[in-house]
Structures are given as C-alpha cells and as structure tokens.
Amino acid sequence: MTTHIETRHEFDLTPAEFDDRIRWSDAYREALYASLGFRYEVVESDRATGARQTRVWPAADVPAPLRKMFGDDFHFTEQGRYDEARRRYEFTVTPSVASDRVQTTGVERLEALDGGRCLRVMEVNVEASLFGLGKVLEAFVARSTKQSYDDDAAFIRAYVRDEG
C-alpha cells in the first residue's frame, strides 16, 4: 500500500525569489534546522546541475515499536534534482534503517501567482513493506512529513518577513 501526501502553501515570493532566498540559501537551511532541533549535513548542492543531497537526523516523536526498530541514530538521506526551467524538484528519501523496505519519493513544484507570490505544491508517496509495522510506519511518515512541510511553510513566512 502507498500513502500519498499533498501540501499546498503560498508565499510572498516569486518562484525566482524562492529559489534564491530559500531553496539554495545556506543561511535559510541553517536557521530552519536549528529551529527544528534537527542535525543535518549537506552532502551535495550544485545549483548549476540542480543536484542536491542532504542527510537529516530528525527530532521526531516516534511511536515505540518504530523507535525500537530505528535505534538512536536514525537519519535519512534526501537526494534530488531541481529543474529550474520547470520549477520542479524530484527527490527520494532513503532511511538509515530498512532502506530496502521503505520508499519515499516526491515532487515539489512552484507555481507563479499574481502579485509576486508563488504556490509550493508538495506531493510525496510513502510505501513501507514491513510485516506488522508497514501501516504504522506509513502513517507515522505521512503525519510527520505533512507536519514538517506545514512547519517549514510557517518558518519560510517568518524568515522572509524577518530577513526583509
């Protein structure tokens, strides 16, 4: 079974401003992950090719059966490529545990809106093939992913407002 998540958030930025001030900004990423209490590492970030790879150690409230399986050093690697002409980022997320049984893929697209604004649409698919835990894991990943994107949107709005 696959769980599908979609979020939509509007920002007071053009797509080009979003790319400059958010997508490719090291200062933004550092501020975001510090506010979330996440440890993260940029493995690759190449605006010319659109390639991006990061590792993130989330600080999430994990259900007990999953916490036992994940262990204390749970992290995930996001690898993707951004097509600036299409304003489309396609990515995969690979967990540090059970990577052969958990697949997360997604697409982020930016759409220009009137008034110098943009809409970010995130579509993520999660599939977990873990006997007895697949549904629990998919529900947890779906809930935490949606919450992360909602929190990120609120953070972006505050960051843009405060950074001018």
Q: How far apart are CA 114 and CA 103, in angstroms?
A: 36
The pLDDT tens digits of the residues spanning 109-159 come to 999 999 999 999 999 998 888 777 677 777 877 888 898 899 999 999 999
- d(C-alpha 44, C-alpha 141), whole Å: 24
pLDDT per residue as tens digits for the range 76-119: 899 999 999 999 999 999 988 778 888 899 999 999 999 999 99
Distance set, CA 159 to CA 61, 119, 145 (Å): 25, 17, 20
Residue 65 pLDDT grade (very low, low, confident, very high; cuts 50, 70, 90) = low
Phi and psi dihedrals of 31, rounded to 5?
Answer: -65, -40
pLDDT of residue 79: 98
Instruction: Look up residue 119 and give its two tokens.
Output: 């809409």
Biggest CA pair distance of the chain: 50
Structure tokens at 92: 């995969």
d(CA 158, CA 150): 13
Specify the pLDDT at position 66.
62
Task: Map out the domains of the chain with their CATH numbers.
Answer: 2-163 (3.30.530.20)
| 3-state SS class at 63 | coil
- Give the per-residue pLDDT at 67: 63
Q: What is the pTM of this model?
A: 0.87
- Name the residue with higher pLDDT: 56 or 105: 105
Higher pLDDT among residues 60 and 156, named by residue: 156
Q: Are 122 and 7 in contact (CB under 8 A)?
A: yes
* E runs forming strands in the chain: 2-11, 39-46, 51-57, 76-83, 88-95, 102-113, 117-128
- Quick one: average pLDDT of 11-18? 98
